[in-house]
Structure formats: structure tokens, C-alpha cells
Amino acid sequence: MKGRNMRTLILIAALGLSSALSVPLQADEIRLQEQAPERHVVVKGDTLWDISEKFLKDPWKWPEVWGFNKEQIKNPHLIYPGDVVLLSMEGGQPRLRLETNSANQIVKLSPSVRGEPIVIKESGIPAIPVGAIAPLLSKGGVGDPADLAKAPLILGSSDARVMFGPGDRVYASKAEADTVDWRVVRLGQALKNPDNPKEILAYEMIHIADARTETPGDPQVVRILRTEQEVLERDRLVPAWKIEPPQYMPHAPGQPIQAKVVSALGGPLYASTWMTVVLDKGARDGLEEGHVLALFRAGRSVADPKCIRADKIAFLAGGGRGHAEDCKQDKQDKAALPETRNGLVFVYRVFNKVAYALVMKSVEPVAVGDAARNP
């Protein structure tokens, strides 16, 4: 009888193992929202992330349900207000396709005299809310320490003033390139490698003003244009930049990413939804615009006492009265609580060693030191 029961248990265990091995990996599963619509009409103000969340529980799997390859993710067919996104099932898998309403993509203006109609094409909807990142696209930025060391410096003016404003002409050290349009910046926080604090990955650059070279040379003459603050001696000149809102579709990295939050832009140590954090990984580490990463909060260490104290008498946790030496606080072990998943970030601007990422959702405030990994 015992032998029969043992054979039965072995058979059940074998069947259970076989069943477990046949279950597909959850990481590859495309999970639809419970109330996913069959169609969605794109409206002004929508983002790719918004639309993805209407259909998918994991918005970064948006390219998979479209069947896009890597090149199409970087250069997607733009989606416009008025387009209709349709959900269907193909081979048991959810698929999205676009039913284009071209009338909403163009505006035809009849010519007043002669010639062909003028066609004005709207921009496609952005990947994420532009309002949350616009200041950091146009004015914010970080600089590589080596590049900043070579950047021209504001030297002063002929009238010995120390602060300068719009319209002022100032001298600056010679530029190595033929750049004429500049951003005047001041160095902010040093962004350090959390695993090697002696390594400075980049400096935050505070946008002070816009400027333009009027007379090249050594020194060069620069006119101050628009200002955010007064320009000071020793402020730096970096080439002017203009970054367009990202059009990349949200997608998971194709290789493992192990990043950490090194700064919450704006000064605080914490960031919440729609705020930007700086990650300690950049282009050199394979990070790209459009990458979605999951945030993780490390579990704190707590005392794992060997003793239970009651009525000032120490007892060993396993039962029985213990020796005082065994129950000293400094002999107690420490236990690390498990890390918790805290939210998602969308990488929207990538530098060589660091990247800007927008917090799309978070359970608790995102803290400096939190991990960001593949979702």
C-alpha cells in the first residue's frame, strides 16, 4: 500500500513539473487591460503612452502588438489626431493597427491668386506629455567634464562690470570650433557615479542666457541676447541646442540595464509622477530614447534580534532563558527587507554617461539611489 501511494505521489509530482514547464514565460505575455477598447480615436493631447495604457497593462510592449522592428521603433509612422487605433486578435495574440483618417492630417488652403493648394501637416502626437519635459529639452542639459573644461569662459567687459544683461557685449575666451550661437551656462550639481563617488559622470548645466559671437578671436566678442539670470564672469559658453520632443515608441531595452537614480531635477532628493530624474547610465551603456525602465526601492535593514525581552528578562528567540552576552544589541544580526517595485520611468533624453527619464508612475516618491532596470 505504501508503495502504491509513493508511486502515485511521484506521478503527480512529474505531471506538475511537466505542466509548470509548459507554461509560457510571463515576461513574454502581452496583457490587455480588462476594459481594453476595440477602437480609440486619437485626440489632440493624447500621447503614445496614454494610448498604450488604454490597451495594455505593460505600455512598453506597444511595439510588439504592432509588430514593429527596432528601426521602426526609432522612426515610427507618426500617429495624428483623428486617426483610429483598432484592436484585433491574430493567431491568439492581440494586434493593433491604424485606420487613418487622412482628412484630419492635412489642412488645405485655397490659393488666393494661383498655384497649387498649400498643405500644412500637423506634427504627430508625442510619446509623453511635452509640457512635463519642454523646459529640459530647450534649456536644461548636462555637460561632460572634459567638454566643459574646454568651453569658452566669460572674461568680462571693457567697463569692468561683473554682471551683464541683454544687449551687453562681453569678452570670452577663444572657441575651438566655428560656433557662433551659444548657451551661457553655469555649473550646477556634480552627478557622481554611485559605485565610484570619485568619478564625476557629468555636471548639471544651469541655463543663464543665449549669446552670439560678433567678432571671433582670442578673446572673442560676444553679445548677450536673452537672459534667465544675470551673466557673470567665469560663466561658460556651450553650443546652442534644440531638441525636438521624442517620437520614439515606448519600448523595453534590448539588453540588460542596471541603472540608479543619481538626481531628482529641481533640487529635491525625491521625485514624483511627471518629474524628471537623472540616471547614471547613458548612450555608452546602451540606453536609448524611448526605453522604459522599472523603478525599485531597496529594502531597508532591520534588526533580527536573537532575544525576546519580557519583564526585563532576556530569552532566546528559540525558547529558554539566554545569557546576557548572547542578547547584547551589537550581537544581533541584521536582516534586509526585500526590494519593492515602485513605478516606471520613460527615458527621453540621453547623454553619453547619464540620461533624463520622466517618472510615469510611482507608488512612493522616487529617491536618489533607487534602482532602474528592465521592466
Closest C-alpha to 141, from 191, 107, 178, 177:
191
| pLDDT over 70 at 302, yes or no | no
- What pLDDT shows up at residue 76? 61
**pLDDT tens-place string over residues 83-95:** 898 888 888 888 8
Residue 168, H or E segment: none
- Which CATH homologous superfamily contains domain 258-373? FlgT, C-terminal domain (2.40.10.410)
pLDDT band at 193 (very low <50, low <70, confident <90, very high): very high
- What pLDDT shows up at residue 23? 34
- Which of 110 and 266 is assigned the larger pLDDT? 266
pLDDT band at 9 (very low <50, low <70, confident <90, very high): very low
C-alpha cell at 281: 547610465
- What pLDDT shows up at residue 348? 92
Identity of the residue numbered 294:
A
Q: How far apart are CA 248 and CA 235, in angstroms?
A: 34
- What pLDDT shows up at residue 246? 66
- What pLDDT shows up at residue 184? 97
* DSSP H stretches of helix in the chain: 2-22, 48-55, 62-66, 70-74, 130-138, 145-149
Identify the top-confidence range among 64-68, 98-102, 149-153: 149-153
- Which of 63 and 153 is assigned the larger pLDDT? 153
- What pLDDT shows up at residue 187? 94
| pLDDT over 50 at 37, yes or no | yes
- What pLDDT shows up at residue 115? 34
Average pLDDT of the segment spanning 155-161 = 91
| pLDDT over 60 at 12, yes or no | no
- What pLDDT shows up at residue 128? 84
Contact 104, 82 (CB under 8 A): yes
Q: How far apart are CA 130 and CA 153, in angstroms?
A: 32
**pLDDT tens-place string over residues 237-260:** 999 987 777 677 889 999 999 999
pLDDT band at 236 (very low <50, low <70, confident <90, very high): very high
- Full-model pTM: 0.75
Q: What is the Cα 174 distance to its own chain's centre?
A: 35
Identity of the residue numbered 313:
I
Contact 30, 58 (CB under 8 A): yes
| pLDDT over 70 at 327, yes or no | no
- What pLDDT shows up at residue 172? 96
Average pLDDT of the segment spanning 16-24 = 33
What percentage of the chain reaches a pLDDT higher than 70? 73
- What pLDDT shows up at residue 71? 64
C-alpha cell at 277: 530624474
- What pLDDT shows up at residue 306? 54
Beta-bridged to residue 320, according to DSSP, are: none
- Which of 124 and 374 is assigned the larger pLDDT? 374
Closest C-alpha to 93, from 146, 41, 56:
56
* Mean per-residue pLDDT over the chain, rounded: 78
Average pLDDT of the segment spanning 147-161 = 93
Domain boundaries, the chain: 31-125, 136-239, 258-373
- What pLDDT shows up at residue 316? 46
Q: How far apart are CA 185 and CA 141, in angstroms?
A: 10
- What pLDDT shows up at residue 114? 32
Q: How far apart are CA 138 and CA 333, in angstroms?
A: 51
**pLDDT tens-place string over residues 271-292:** 888 999 999 999 999 999 999 9
Q: How far apart are CA 86 and CA 105, in angstroms?
A: 18
Pairing outcome for strands 236-239 and 220-227 = unpaired
Measured between alpha carbons, how far is residue 310 from residues 73, 134, 333 in Å? 63, 60, 20
Average pLDDT of the segment spanning 42-71 = 83
| pLDDT over 90 at 235, yes or no | yes
